[in-house]
Structure 1
Amino acid sequence: MSEVLWRPGLRFGSYPQKPESRLTDFEQGAAAFFDKIVKRLTRKRYSLTYVVEQVNRHAEPLRHCNEQQLTIAILALREALSRQGLTEVLMLRAFALIRETADRTLNKRHFDEQLFGGWLMINGLLAEMETGEGKTLTATLPACTAALAGIPVHVITANDYLAGRDADMLKPLYLRLGLKSGAVVDGMALEQRRKMYQNAIVHTTNKQIAFDYLRDRIEIGEDTGPLRFQYRQIRQDVTEQKHEALIMRGLCFAIIDEADSVLIDEAKTPLIITQTKPNDESPKTYGDALYLASSLFINDDFVIDAKSRDIELTSQGENTLADMAIGLGPNWKNKRWRETMVKQALIAEYCFKRNKQYILKDNKVQIIDEFTGRVMEDRSWEQGLQQMIEAKEGCLISEQREPLARISYQRFFGRYLKLAGTSGTVREVAAEMHRVYGLHAVKVPTHRISKRRLLSERIYTTQAAKQRMFLQRVNELHTLGRPILIGTGSVAESLEVSDWLEQAGLLHRVLNAEQDQHEAEIIAHAGQLNAITVATNMAGRGTDIALGLGVAELGGLHVIALNCNESRRIDRQLYGRCARQGDPGSCEAILSLEDAGLREFYSSAILKTLTGLANGDQALPAWLGNLILRLPQTYKERHQRSVRRQLSKQDKRLSRILAFSGKFE
C-alpha cells in the first residue's frame, strides 16, 4: 500500500493546500496534546540509534558504487518513491543515497546527528539543533527525499542572503540527484519567479513566498470550488494566457530553517499586499502637520507610549492644535482629520528614527527589519506614516497604498500539507510552536561537545563607562590576535561603535543594512586573525564564520553583545556565531543602564537606585545584572506572545466572515 504523497494530482488538486481549520482554541490545544502523546508512544521511530542503524544498513552497498551505478540507484529510488510514496523503508534508503551523493559532490558527509535531524523533519517534526550543527546540510535529507518523490519542496529561511547562498552551495548535490532547484529572492520579475517555482526544490524567504501566495490568491479571485478552479487551470493551459498564470504550484511541503524567527518573531504582523492610489494629501499638508507637531510639548500636549509606539493628545494639546490650525486650509477645520495627521507626524518624529527603524538609500526611505537588521525592499508603512516620514526626511512623497489581500503567518503556514523545520533556539517557544502550528520539537544531540565559554554579562552605570570598558576589552583581545564580532541593535548603534573604534585606532569592518551588498566578503573575513567586525542582527542568524589559520589555537572567535535584545533567543543566536562544530570560542555582553532597551523599561527612580549600587567604572554584581536583563526580555516575550495570539484570533474571525460571504480570501 502506497503512502499519501503531498503533491499536485487527483487527491489534492492542481494547487494543493490544506483546508482552513475550524477548530476552536480549546479544540486545537486538545488536538496538539493528543498528537504529543502519539509522538511519545512511537518514540522508538524517532530515536537517533534506530535511524542511524537503519540508514547505515542501506548505505553499505553504496560505498563501492561507481558513478554509473550510483545514477542507476538514484533512478530506481526515484521511481520507487513516485510509485509507493514516502514509506519508512524508502525514506531510510533515500537518506543513505543522499548522504553518499553529498559526500561525493559537496565533500560533506552527513553526521549521525544530522541524519536524525533530517528524519525528524521528513516526519513533520521540528528538529532543535544547536547553532553551528549544520542545519543547512541536514535539511537536504528531507528536501531531496520529498523532491525525488515528486513533491514540490519549499526551503524557507530568514533572509535573501541565506536563501541565495544555500541554493548556490547545494546546487551540485541537487543536480547529481537529477533535481532542479533555484532561489526566489527580492527583485525578481514575475515571470522569473513563476519559472523558479516550477523547480523541484525552491529556496526562498518567508516574506517572498507569502507575498507570492497572496498574488496567486488575488489572481484566483472567487474561483472557490475545486471543480471551478480545475476548469480555470485547464482553460488557462489551453489558451496559454501566461499573464494570468499562477506563480506557485501550491503549498505542499515546507522546511523552515530558523523556524523560531520565521514562525514566532515575524508572526506578530500580518502580511498585506497593496496597490498604489493617488495621494489624497499634498506635500504641503505633511509639512504643515510636521510644523504643528514640532510646536507641541511632550507631557503637556501629548503623551508617548514608547513600548507600543503610540501617541495620545491631551485636552490641552487638542485645544492648542485647534488654535494653531486656523488659516491653514479647510481640511484643518475637521477635528478628527486634523488630530490624526498631527498624531502621525508626532509618531514619525518621536517613534521612528533614521538608521534605526529605517535608512535613506537612493534618497528613499527604506524600512529595516528590526529582527534581522536587513532592508525590507518595496515595503511601506500604512495610514500615511510612510509619507509623513518621507516629508520629515525631505524625500519625494510616494503614492499611498491600499490593501488588496492580507494573511498572517499563522494562517499561511497552517495551509501547507506538510510542515517541518529546524532551529537552534526553539525551547523557549516550543509550546507555542506546537499549539499554533502543530510542530512538536525534538532535541538533537550535538555532534561534538561545545567549547563555547559564556562569560557573565557586565552592566555599567553610564554609557561612558561602558565605552571605556568595551574598548579596553577589544584592545586586550586584539593584542592576542583573536577575531572579534561586535553585535549592535541598529544601524545607528553600529555606526556609533565604529566611531569609537576609529578614534581608538582599531581597524575594523561594519556590516549593516547600508553595506548589505558586501555581506559575503565581510563574513568571509570576520574569522581571520586580528579581524574586528561590527554588525547588526544581520550576523545573528544562519551566518557561518569560518576560523582562519591559527585562530583556534588562540581561543577562536570572541563575540561581544552591546545591546539588550527583545528576546533571550536573539542573544543566543548572536553568541552562536562562535564555537561552532567543536571549535573554541567565547562570548559576553557589555551594557549600561543608559542603553535604550533598559531606559524604556525601568523608571528613572529604579535606574537611579541601581546606579548607587556600583562604584565608579565597576560593573553591577553579576546576579543583579542578569536579573536586570531578563526582566525586560521576559516582559517583551510575554507581550509579543499576546500580540500574536490576538492576531491569530482576529485572522480566524476574518476568515469566518470571508467564508460566509463566499470569498476565497
Structure 2
Amino acid sequence: MSELVLRPGVHFGSYPQKPESRLSDFEQGASAFFDILHKRLNRQRFSQAYIVSRVEKVAAPLSNYNEQQLTIAILELRENLYRYGLTEELMIRAFALIREVAGRTLHKRHFDVQLFGGWLMINGMLAEMETGEGKTLTATLPACTAALAGIPVHVITANDYLAARDAEILKPLYLRLGLKSGAVVDGMDLELRRKLYQQPIVHTTNKQIAFDYLRDRIEMGEDVGLLKFQFKQIQQQIKQPKSNPLIMRGLCFAIIDEADSVLIDEAKTPLIITQTRPNEASPETYGDALYLASSLFINDDFVMDPKTRDVELTQQGENTLADMIIGLGPRWKNKRWREAMVKQALIAEYCFKRNKQYILKDNKVQIIDEFTGRVMEDRSWEQGLQQMIETKEGCLISEQREPLARISYQRFFGRYLKLAGTSGTVREVATEMQRVYGLHSVKVPTHRVSKRKLLSERVYATQAAKQRAFLQRVAEIHAQGRPILIGTGSVAESLEVSVWLEAAGLVHRVLNAEQDQHEAEIIAQAGQLHAITVATNMAGRGTDIALGLGVSELGGLHVIALNCNESRRIDRQLYGRSARQGDPGSCEAILSLEDTALREFYSSAILKTLAGLAKDQQALPGFLGNLILRLTQIYNERQQRNVRRQLSKQDKHLSRILAFSGKFE
C-alpha cells in the first residue's frame, strides 16, 4: 500500500479504513510468518545504527539554523511529505527536524534509542521499550512525521488523564511544527469531539475512540461497503452542506502507548453501545431472586466455576426453587425465567465482591478493571447482572440497556490503515500481537544500563506469616529512608494493607480506584524520602516516579508485590516503576499459599503439602516459590489467551451474520 494514500482523499474517500479481513486463522498465521521473514531479510533497514547514522547526517546543519531558517525547513518538508508520501528519505529528514524542534521547544532531545523506537513505529511495528525510556517523547517522531504528510494521527493511551497530560505537554512541539492537536476525553459533547477529531494529531483513549467509531457506524445506518458508505456521505453533504453527522475522519494511523494494556488486557471485553429501556423486573423481583439464591447450598443445590462464572443448578436445586416460589407471583412459575434470575443472583453473590470487581461511589455501582484497578466509567454488566448487584448493595436500580452496536478491539484496531505502538512489556504476548494485529515486535535497547535488582519471590505458608514478613521488610527499608511502592491486586487488598501499615505506625498513602483523581499528586510524592505508597495494579502506569533528593544514594525506589498477578507481564509492569533511566532500584514479591490466586489454582492437598515444607514461619525455598507462581501464571495466561481467541471467533461469526443481513456491526 502506498503511504501516500493513508489520508482521506480520492482513494479511500473521506472516511478511510481497512477492509475487513476474511483470512482464516491458518491464513493469518501464514501471513504473519511471511511478514516476519520479510522484516528479517531487511533487518539492516530496521537496525538502530543504520537509522541513527542517517538521522545524524541530516541533522548536523540544523543546530545552526535560526528560527526563520527552521520555519522554512519545516514548510519545505511538509510540502514534500504531502506530495511524495512517507518515503524513507523524507522520514529520515522529518526525524532529524522533529528532534531539533523538540530540543528547542520541550528542552528534550530524542536519544538514539528513541530515534530507533520511532522508526519502528512509523514503519508499522511495535517497539518494546523498557519503562522510563521516554515512550511519550518517542511517539512524537512517527506522530509528527505522519501528520506533516497530511495523515490524521490518533495517539491512543490507557486513560483520560494520560491523554490530556500528553497533549498538553507536547503542544509546544506540535505548534512549532505547524500542527494543531487536542485530547478527546470523557465528558465532552459530540460537537467538541467532532471539532477535535479534525486536528492533525488527536490524543485519546482506546475506549473513547472505539465508541466514537461505533457512533459513526450507527449514524451511517445499515449500508455495507465502501461505495455505499461514500455515497451516503455525499448525499448527506448535498442535503446539509455545512453539516457533517460523523464524528471522526476515518481510521488512518494509530500509535498506541502501553499497547499490551490496550490490545491484550482489554481485548477480552467487547465494546457495546446501548440504549436504556425500562426494567422488565421490579426491584422487589431482584430482591426475591437474591433471597432465593441465599437459600441454596453450593454443591448440593448448585455447582459453580468461579473462574468462568458459570452456574448450573442440580436437580435438588431445581426442586428446592419450585417449592420456595409459592406466594411470589405468577411470573416465578416460569421455570426457565426463574432459574435464569436465580443464576444471575448466585453470580452476583459469589463472583462479584465490593472493592474487587466494583466499588460504591456516590451510591452507584462502578465497575473496576481487574487488570489496572481503574474505574471503568459508564460501563455496566449485561442481562440484569448490573441491577442484581445494585439490589445486593441497596443502591438505586438503574434501567436496563439493550445493544445498538458492538465491536471487539481486535476488529476495531484491525481496521486502521496503519497501526503501531510501544510498551515495556510485550515479549510474553509478541506472538499474539503478530497473529491478531499484524504487529511485529522489536526490542529497543535501553539508553542507560538498568540497575534494577530483582530479588527472589518469598512464599509463606500462611497469611499471618506473610503479613509479619511484609511489615518487617517495610520497616527495614523505611528505616533506610528509601521510598517504597506496594502493589496489590484489588481495592479491597489495598485497604487491608493500609490497615496493617496503620497498625504498625507506618505513615503511607493509598492509590486505588477510589483515589484515582489524585493519581498524579500521589505518584509525584511516591519517590521521596521515607514515602510509602500502596497501589492497585494501576501503580501510576504511564507516569514517572521521580526520585527525591538523596534517594539514589540510598538505593532508589523499592517495589513490593503482594499478590500473584495473572501474568508475568503484569509483574514486570509493576517492577518497572523502579530503576528507570539508569536510576538504582529493587523489587520483590511477598506472598502466601493462602492468597486467592494460589488457592484457586492448587488443590487443598497440594497446598497442605507445600505448607509443610515451610519451617518455623520461614518462606519456601526460592526455586519452589518461583515454580509455584510461574505455573499459576502460565495457566492463567493460556486461559486469557483462549478467552480473547474465542471472542475474536465469535466476533467474526457475528460479522458474517450481520453482513448477510445488510448491517454494519
What band does the TM-score fall into relative to the shorter chain? over 0.9
Q: How does 1:273-288 map to 2 (within 5 A)?
A: 273-288=273-288
Q: Which amino acid aligns with 1:187?
A: G
Aligned counterparts of 2:160 and 2:44: Cα–Cα separation in 1: 37
Q: Paired residue for 1:378?
A: 378
Report the counterpart of residue 553 of structure 1 in structure 2. 553
Q: How is 1:112-131 mapped onto 2 (pairs within 5 angstroms)?
A: 112-131=112-131
CA distance in 2, matches of 1:42, 1:179: 32
- Quote the offset at 1:485 in angstroms: 0.4
2:143 is matched with 143
Confirm whether residue 289 of structure 1 aligns to residue 289 of structure 2.
Answer: yes
3-state SS in 1 of match to 2:61: helix
Amino acid at match of 2:587: C
Equivalences for 1:221-370 in 2 at 5 Å? 221-240=221-240, 245-370=245-370
Residues 473-528 of structure 1 show CA distances to partners (whole Å, capped at 9, x for unaligned) of 11111111100000001111011111111111111110011111111100110011
2:583 alignment counterpart: 583
Partner of 2:523: 523
- Structure 1 residues 627-642: aligned runs within 5 Å: 627-642=627-642
CA displacement 1:225-276 (0-9 Å, x = unmatched): 4344334323434544888611111000001111111111111121111110
Q: Are residues 1:503 and 2:503 paired?
A: yes
Specify whether residues 423 and 465 from structure 1 end up closer, same or farther in structure 2 by C-alpha distance, changes over 3 A only: same
The secondary structure found in structure 2 opposite 1:465 is helix
Instruction: Supply the distance in 2 between the matched residues of 1:32 and 1:455 (Cα, whole angstroms).
Output: 37
| Partner Cα distance (2:225, 2:27) in 1 | 27
CA distance in 1, matches of 2:489, 2:657: 40
1:80 aligned residue: 80
Determine whether 1:27 maps to 2:27: yes
Which position in structure 2 is the counterpart of 1:393?
A: 393
For 1:445, the equivalent position in structure 2 comes to: 445
Q: Structure 2: how far apart are the matches of 1:226 and 1:404?
A: 21
Q: CA deviation at 1:11?
A: 0.7
SS in 2 for 1:513: coil
Q: Match for residue 618 of structure 2?
A: 618
Deviations along 1:540-591, one digit per CA (max 9) or x if unpaired, are 6323101111110100000000011101000000000000000000000011
Alpha-carbon distance between aligned partners in 2 of 1:305 and 1:231, rounded to the nearest angstrom: 50
Q: Alignment partner of 1:539: what SS? A: coil
Q: Which residue of 2 aligns with 1:570?
A: 570
Deviation at 1:215, TM superposition (A): 0.8
Rounded to whole Å, the distance in 2 between the matches of 1:273 and 1:340 is 24
| Aligned counterparts of 2:137 and 2:244: Cα–Cα separation in 1 | 37
Q: Is the 8 A contact 1:81 1:90 kept in 2?
A: yes
Q: Which moved more, 1:265-274 or 1:279-288?
A: 265-274
8 A Cα contact 1:157 1:204, kept in partner? yes
Once residues 3 and 258 of structure 2 are traced to their aligned partners in structure 1, the CA distance between those partners, rounded to angstroms, is 29
Deviations 1:424-469 (A, max 9, x none): 1111111111111111111111111100000001011111111111
Name whichever of 125-134 and 561-570 sits farther off.
125-134
* Counterpart in the other structure of 2:171: 171
Equivalent in the alignment of 2:463: 463
Rate the CA distance shift 1:472–1:87 in 2: closer, same or farther, 3 A. same
- Alpha-carbon contact 2:5-2:12 (below 8 Å) kept: no
SS in 2 for 1:296: coil
Q: Which moved further from structure 2: 376-385 or 296-305?
A: 296-305
- Aligned partner letter, 2:78: R
CA distance in 1, matches of 2:550, 2:596: 38
Q: Contact conserved, 1:483 with 1:527, CA < 8 A, in 2?
A: yes
Quote the residue 1:212 is aligned against. Answer: 212
Aligned to 1:63, what secondary structure does the other structure show? helix
Tell me how far apart the structure 2 counterparts of residues 124 and 424 of structure 1 sit (CA, whole Å): 17
1:422 is the counterpart of 2:422? yes
Distance in 2 between the 1:604 and 1:231 partners?
Answer: 64
Aligned to 1:43: 43
CA contact (8 A) 2:237 2:243 kept: no
The 1:540–1:430 alpha-carbon spacing in structure 2 relative to 1, beyond 3 Å, is: farther
Deviates more, 1:187-196 or 1:13-22: 187-196
Q: Give the partner amino acid of 1:53.
A: S
1:542 and 1:190 map into 2 onto residues whose CA distance is 27
The structural deviation recorded for 1:329 is 0.4
Partner of 1:109: 109
**Is the contact made by 2:523 and 2:540 (CA closer than 8 Å) also made in structure 1?**
no
How many pairs were matched up?
A: 665
CA distance in 1 between counterparts of 2:175 and 2:529 reads 36
Query: What is residue 95 of structure 2 aligned with on the other side?
Result: 95
The aligned counterpart of 1:411 is 411
CA contact (8 A) 1:2 1:84 kept: no
Q: Report the AA paired with residue 195 of structure 1.
A: K
Q: Distance in 1 between matches of 2:245 and 2:542?
A: 34
> Which AA in structure 2 matches 1:358?
Y
SS in 2 for 1:401: strand
Supply the AA of the counterpart residue of 2:219. E
Answer yes or no: is the 8 Å Cα contact 2:171–2:181 preserved in 1: yes
Alpha-carbon separation, structure 2, partners of 1:340 and 1:661: 29
**Partners of 1:287 and 1:656 in 2: how far apart?**
40
Conservation of the 8 A alpha-carbon contact between 1:372 and 1:540: no
Partner of 2:587, secondary structure, is strand
List per-residue Cα deviations over 1:172-204 (Å, max 9, x = no partner). Answer: 111111111111112222222111111111111
Superposed CA deviations along residues 293-334 of structure 1, whole A, max 9, x for unmatched, are 111112211122111122221111111111001110001101
**Deviation, structure 1 residue 12:** 1.0
Q: TM-score, normalised by structure 1?
A: 0.98
Partner of 2:190: 190
Q: Tell me how far 1:3 sits from its aligned partner.
A: 4.5
Supply the distance in 2 between the matched residues of 1:438 and 1:288 (Cα, whole angstroms).
50
Determine helix, strand or coil for the equivalent of 1:405.
Answer: strand
Is there any run of 5+ residues in structure 1 with no aligned partner, and where?
A: none
Q: Which secondary structure state, in structure 2, belongs to the residue aligned with residue 119 of structure 1?
A: helix
Equivalent position amino acid for 1:51 in 2:
I
Q: 1-side partners of 2:651 and 2:2: how far apart?
A: 36
CA displacement, residues 350-386 of structure 1 (integer Å, 9 cap, x when unaligned) = 1000000000011000000111111111100000000
Distance 1:258 1:216 in 2: 26
Match of 2:435 in 1: 435
- Following the alignment from structure 1 to structure 2, what is the Cα–Cα distance between the partners of residues 345 and 596? 22
Q: Are the equivalent residues in 2 in contact too, given 1:529–1:551 (CA < 8 A)?
A: yes
CA distance in 1, matches of 2:237, 2:557: 55
* Contact 2:557/2:578 (<8 A) preserved: yes
Q: Tell whether the 8 Å contact from 1:508 to 1:532 is kept in structure 2 after alignment.
A: yes
Query: How far apart, in 2, do the equivalents of 1:2 and 1:622 lie?
Result: 54
Corresponding residue SS for 1:303: strand
Q: Contact between 1:287 and 1:391, CA under 8 Å: does it hold in 2?
A: yes
The one-letter amino acid paired with 1:323 is D
Which deviates more, 8-17 or 261-270? 261-270
**CA drift at 1:59:** 0.5
Q: 1:243 to 1:523 in 2, by over 3 A?
A: farther
Which amino acid letter does the alignment assign opposite residue 14 of structure 2? Answer: S
**Equivalent residue, structure 2, for 1:645:** 645
The answer (yes or no) to whether the contact 1:358–1:368 under 8 Å persists in 2 is yes
Q: Which residue of structure 1 aligns with residue 481 of structure 2?
A: 481
